[in-house]
Structure 1
């Protein structure tokens, strides 16, 4: 039961990071925003070119995925 909550918490953190990432792309340019939404590889280019802007949302997403991964490992070991 606790692992379910861990997975849900991690997913919510990752979703919040994703939304913040889209907001940051829009702050730079609406074209970056549209490009990141429609074509995933453009998001990688944006992250590389605008690391200072995208650092917090990307790390938040990674933390969320990490929490989900830990929850999955705990479920697997049960």
Structure 2
């Protein structure tokens, strides 16, 4: 399952910012979906798009990030 939501604020999901973000509104927020997985959005644009992933897809993404597969340097 991977779903796209054009307006994350309309989903009703409870998005949370990482405690490591420093509160600078420059991070990805995550909402945990019961049994289904999780949903992510950009903290700078809460009414912008969001993506929902099943547990396996999100875990695969986290592992790829940790392995440096998306290390494009500072943008």
TM more than 0.5:
no
Task: With the length of structure 1 as denominator, give the TM-score of the two structures.
Answer: 0.31
Task: With the length of structure 2 as denominator, give the TM-score of the two structures.
Answer: 0.32
Q: Which has the larger strand fraction?
A: 2
Q: Which has the larger helix fraction?
A: 1
Relative contact order, higher structure (CA 8 A, sep 6+)? 1
